[in-house]
């Protein structure tokens, strides 16, 4: 490596270090303020907040998954029907490429809504198992029906969207009901779609890293403030480790394949 390149690297580090040092000082000050504030809040309203959150969950948990799933189903049916009509129009015209782009964008939002609903459904299922064990049978039944509707509707919505995508792009393969669907789907994608997947994956990796850091702070503060205990901190650390190790190992594998 030339001496000029070494000097360039040093200058780059020196320039970046100033902003880094300032951010570290600001973060330390914010941390001190939050730490002091958490002690005050714990002494004054800590128990009230915990009780309020538990009561709110007990009220909404029996109905949340069912209501959200019905809303997602309605929105998905409307968007899917509209997309299929637009696809039919495109097949008749063959010269309106923006129609396809619009269809695929809308279908992506449908998948987003369905996936978010599934995650929220799992949350309320866990909350219901903890909070509704001694509640009325009606609420328990609604809670279970809501979770079943959430899971089944998500699978059916994903299947409809994937099949419509395969109609738009005949080279795509894979069935939602196949346990190896993700790999088969990715293998069948062209280079443009794969590049979009890789960019999205890296963005997701960065987002999860930042989220884990924030959750770590919440868990540390909540250990005393909400009496979380140590398990939330352990779970966040496990998620953080898994996604970091998985990303690094896959990066090493890709580097080896590139060399070979």
Q: Which two tokens stand for residue 175?
A: 């069935």
Predicted confidence band of residue 222 (pLDDT cuts 50, 70, 90): confident
Q: How far is CA 57 from CA 1, 71, 120, 126, 161, in A?
A: 60, 20, 13, 11, 32
Of residues 190 and 227, more confidence is placed in 190
The rounded distance, in Å, linking the Cα atoms of 155 and 72 is 12
Range scoring the smallest mean pLDDT among 9-18, 144-153, 220-229: 9-18
Q: Which two tokens stand for residue 191?
A: 């280079």
Residue from 141, 97, 143 nearest 122 by CA? 143
Of residues 257 and 112, more confidence is placed in 112
Q: What pLDDT does 177 receive?
A: 87
Mean pLDDT of the chain: 81
Residues 6+ apart with CB under 8 A from 49: 41, 226
Q: What is the pTM of this model?
A: 0.76
**Segment 124-145 mean pLDDT:** 80
Q: How far is CA 94 from CA 43, 52, 87, 126, 168, in A?
A: 68, 57, 10, 49, 12
**Segment 76-96 mean pLDDT:** 81
Alpha helices in 94-230 (DSSP H): 97-131, 137-168, 181-188, 191-225
Q: Which two tokens stand for residue 238?
A: 């496990």
Of residues 40 and 183, more confidence is placed in 183
Helical (H) or strand (E) element with 70 = helix 46-93
The rounded distance, in Å, linking the Cα atoms of 140 and 66 is 12
Residue from 80, 71, 159 nearest 120 by CA? 71
CB–CB of 111/161 below 8 Å? yes
């Amino acid at each position: 490596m030339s001496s000029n390149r070494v000097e360039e690297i040093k200058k780059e580090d020196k320039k970046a270090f100033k902003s880094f040092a300032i951010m570290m000082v600001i973060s330390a000050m914010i941390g001190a303020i939050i730490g002091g504030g958490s002690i005050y809040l714990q002494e004054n309203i800590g128990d009230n907040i915990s009780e309020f959150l538990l009561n709110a969950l007990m009220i909404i948990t029996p109905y949340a998954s069912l209501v959200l799933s019905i809303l997602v189903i309605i929105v998905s049916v409307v968007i899917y029907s509209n997309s299929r009509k637009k696809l039919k129009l495109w097949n008749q015209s063959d010269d309106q490429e923006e129609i396809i782009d619009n269809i695929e964008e809308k279908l992506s939002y449908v998948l987003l809504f369905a996936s978010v609903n599934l995650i929220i459904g799992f949350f309320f299922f866990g909350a219901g198992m903890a909070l509704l064990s001694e509640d009325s049978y009606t609420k328990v039944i609604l809670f279970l029906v809501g979770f079943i509707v959430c899971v089944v509707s998500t699978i059916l919505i994903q299947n409809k969207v994937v099949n419509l995508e395969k109609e738009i792009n005949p080279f795509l393969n894979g069935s939602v009901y196949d346990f190896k669907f993700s790999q088969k789907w990715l293998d069948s994608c062209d280079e443009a779609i794969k590049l979009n997947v890789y960019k999205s994956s890296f963005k997701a990796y960065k987002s999860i890293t930042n989220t884990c850091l924030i959750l770590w702070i919440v868990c540390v503060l909540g250990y005393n403030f909400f009496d979380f205990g140590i398990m939330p901190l352990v779970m966040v650390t496990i998620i953080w480790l898994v996604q970091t190790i998985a990303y690094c190992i896959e990066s090493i594998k890709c580097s080896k394949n590139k060399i070979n």
